[in-house]
Amino acid sequence: MESVSFYTLGCKVNQYETDAMAESFRNNGYEIKNHNEISDIYVINTCSVTNLGERKSRQFIRRAKKENPESIICVVGCYAQISPEEVSNIEGVDLIIGTKEKSKIVELCEKVKKENTKINIVENVMNITKFEELESNSIQENTRAYIKIQEGCNQFCSYCIIPYARGPIRSREFDNIIQEAKTLVDKGFKELVLTGIHVASYGKDLGGNSLIDVIEAVHKIEGLERIRLSSIEPMLITESFMSRLKELKKVCPHFHLSLQSGSDTVLFRMNRKYNTKEYKERVDIIRSFMPDAAITTDIIVGFPGESEEEFQETYNFVEKIGFASVHVFKYSKREGTPAASHKNQVHGTIKNNRSKKLIDLTDKQHLDFMKKFLDTKREILIETTSKKLGYMEGYTDNYIRVAIKGNEKLENEIINTKLIEIDGNKVLGEII
């Protein structure tokens, strides 16, 4: 039996696609190995969001070829799409796919081997108009499974390479989403996450169903307990959207609402499609319908031209919103984007200081959010059990990490829990 291993960088969409490609190999009789094991085929699913992701990809390519000089090296994903010539010049690369035709990966790898040739099938992603089906029905995160419902992005934020790597928005056929959701639930998954590159745009290219229609249809599946959404744009949130969402009891009150900056002038330079007033209005709408909702976000500090005053505006806005959790990123120049050529780049020391200051604030907000639910009862979906430590761990519907004493085999079970006390970045609870 020939073997294949995968090395995946980047987002949950990449992980979903890796799972789907692994399933294709498995269905064709291949043994799936860990990425640090010697294999006949190595698939590197790359990321181009930062230059670091590209560097890691190159390092792994060279390492894999050194471990098995006879292996086939296949490079797929965003880095391959953005820089196919650069990838082809890396010694040892046999197959370059990009962000399209991953469904043909087994066939292409076998062609490389049979014909002893190199293949590069990367094409202009801007010309792609149809969603490529890639089903991933294998184990993903033990209790949580992801369903990719959408591809591409039309936003063209000035710091982001993704539209150039993934192309324009393409929505998955409605019936195919529901069918995969049913299959995953039949396999025992109790929580599904609807994901994509720009989930909020679902359906705009098809002219039919929208994201809320998908959520309502998935909600009807018997045996499913929870539905989550991956990162969404603020302008998706309306009174109409939330009034429909509130009726769906399986939908978790957790919204990763993209912000990036709390300064209107920075948001304008980023080419974001909202301002802080509109963002705050969306937060207020969510909280009016779901008071217990966790609102999390991403923020970039040190964006080109960000003044001390603009950073303070962001700090003050974050303080006003009161997030459950925030991912703080220091701006990283990405060649090929408008922001990379901005003359007024912020010095690294300044970015470090601003990042630390904001992280200190958001750590406190995370603590405050957890404190809010102490002495309350929440349902926990148990994900892991550590016999050594004597704890079971899982998450509430509003994404509070909870540890419960005990080592019963309760993985993938939803249990009623009382939240007792805070322990670092999690809450200790007891079964009730």
3 state DSSP class of 286: helix
Name the CATH topology of 3-123. Answer: Rossmann fold (3.40.50)
Between CA 53 and CA 83 the distance in angstroms is 13
Give the pLDDT confidence score for residue 316 in this predicted structure. Answer: 98
Between CA 393 and CA 395 the distance in angstroms is 7
Separation of CA 301 from chain center:
20
Separation of CA 347 from chain center:
29
Separation of CA 331 from chain center:
19
Running DSSP on this structure, what letter comes out for residue 231?
-
Name the CATH topology of 377-431. Answer: OB fold (Dihydrolipoamide Acetyltransferase, E2P) (2.40.50)
Q: Identify any residues that bridge with 381 across adjacent strands, giving them in sequence order.
A: 395, 414
Between CA 331 and CA 46 the distance in angstroms is 20
3 state DSSP class of 420: strand
Q: How many Cα atoms within 13 Å fall on the side-chain side of residue 144?
A: 23
Tens digits of pLDDT across the chain (432 residues) = 899 999 999 888 999 999 999 999 999 999 999 888 999 999 999 998 887 888 898 999 898 889 899 999 999 999 999 999 999 999 999 999 998 899 999 999 999 999 999 999 999 989 888 999 986 665 555 688 999 999 999 999 999 999 999 999 999 999 999 999 999 999 999 999 999 999 999 999 998 899 999 999 999 999 999 999 999 999 999 999 999 999 999 999 999 999 999 999 999 999 999 999 999 999 999 999 999 999 999 999 999 999 999 999 999 999 999 999 999 999 999 888 999 999 999 999 999 999 999 999 999 999 999 999 999 999 999 998 877 778 899 999 999 999 998 877 788 899 999 999 999 999 999 999
How is the chain split into domains, by residue range? Answer: 3-123, 144-371, 377-431
3 state DSSP class of 163: helix
H/E segment holding residue 353: helix 348-372
The architecture of the domain spanning 144-371 is Alpha-Beta Horseshoe (3.80)
pTM: 0.91
- CB-CB contact of 163 with 155 (8 Å): yes
Residue whose pair of structure tokens reads 């992603």 in the numeric block: 125
Q: Identify any residues that bridge with 415 across adjacent strands, giving them in sequence order.
A: 380
Both structure tokens of 427: 């809450």
Residue whose pair of structure tokens reads 């934020």 in the numeric block: 157
Q: Which residues contact 160 (CB under 8 A, 6 or more apart)?
A: 49, 153, 334, 337
- Helix axes of 12-27 and 105-115: crossing angle, nearest 10 degrees: 60
3 state DSSP class of 6: strand
